[in-house]
Amino acid sequence: MSERNIAAVVLAAGASTRLGKPKQLAVMGGETLLERAVRTAREAGCVPIVVVLGASYLEVLAGTYGTLGDAIPVINDKWQKGMATSIGLGVRTLALVAKSADGVVLMTCDQPAVTASHLRELCAEPELIAGSGYAGKIGIPAYFPCSRFDELMKLSGDTGARALLRGARTVNSEELALDIDTEDDLKRARELFG
């Protein structure tokens, strides 16, 4: 991604109700899930990295103080209205801080199998939307060129960008089907990824 400016938006606003504590702060391999996501985006060459927080944001900010580097945290006070509000806020923030972004990678902090190489592969065709293929669907992480930023900012509801991903170029990785929602998921992720 060296010749293009690809940003990242890490969606981390959810309440983690099934886990019973902020999953953003769950530790795996010596770092929190949020730190891991930001590090992976950074290793992929994404600049800037916007982190969208919501539920428990004060606890998450305190728990990651000084560890997110130059990532830009923003607070979504409408997080309960669904993932689309976080996507819109993240992309609007990019429009303010990175007017020259050629595209954006949308990702969450609860998919521990995401790698920098997977993110780079998503961005390989800069004019095409690309999603991650796993469990029979196309989902996030996903890449969107800047020509689709307006659509991302107009999304509503809890389905995120699913409609925009229909028919998108797909980068398959079945490992991404594991996301951290419960203590069992976290235990399995620690066994698999450290």
Q: What is the pLDDT of residues 65-116, one digit of tens each?
A: 888 999 999 999 999 998 999 999 999 999 888 778 999 999 999 999 999 9
| Residue 185, number of CB atoms within 10 A of its CB | 18
What pLDDT is recorded for position 165? Answer: 94
Give this prediction's pTM: 0.94
What pLDDT is recorded for position 70? Answer: 92
For residue 159, give the CATH number of its domain: 3.90.550.10
* Angstrom distance (rounded) from CA 91 to CA 160: 13
**Structurally, how many domains does the chain consist of?**
1
* 165-175 pLDDT per residue, tens: 999 999 999 99
What pLDDT is recorded for position 10? Answer: 97
Residue 2 CB-density burial (10 A; 0-12 exposed, 13-18 middle, 19+ buried): exposed
Examine residue 171 and state whether it is found in any structural domain, yes or no.
Answer: yes
* Angstrom distance (rounded) from CA 79 to CA 96: 20
Pairing of strands 137-145, 130-134: antiparallel
DSSP states along 23-69: GGG-EETTEEHHHHHHHHHHHTT--SEEEEEBTBHHHHHHHTTTTST
**Peptide bond between residue 141 and the one before it cis (omega within 30 degrees of 0):** yes
Q: Which domain holds residue 147?
A: 6-193
* Three-class DSSP category at 172: strand
Examine residue 107 and state whether it is found in any structural domain, yes or no.
Answer: yes
Examine residue 117 and state whether it is found in any structural domain, yes or no.
Answer: yes
Examine residue 59 and state whether it is found in any structural domain, yes or no.
Answer: yes
* 12-58 pLDDT per residue, tens: 999 888 888 899 999 998 999 999 999 999 999 999 999 999 998 88
* Angstrom distance (rounded) from CA 98 to CA 80: 27
Per the structure block, which two tokens stand in for 142? 């996903």
Examine residue 58 and state whether it is found in any structural domain, yes or no.
Answer: yes
Examine residue 1 and state whether it is found in any structural domain, yes or no.
Answer: no
Phi–psi pair at 63, nearest 5 degrees = -75, -15
Distant-in-sequence, close-in-space partners of 136: CB < 8 Å, separation ≥ 6: none
Q: pLDDT grade, residue 146 (50/70/90)?
A: very high
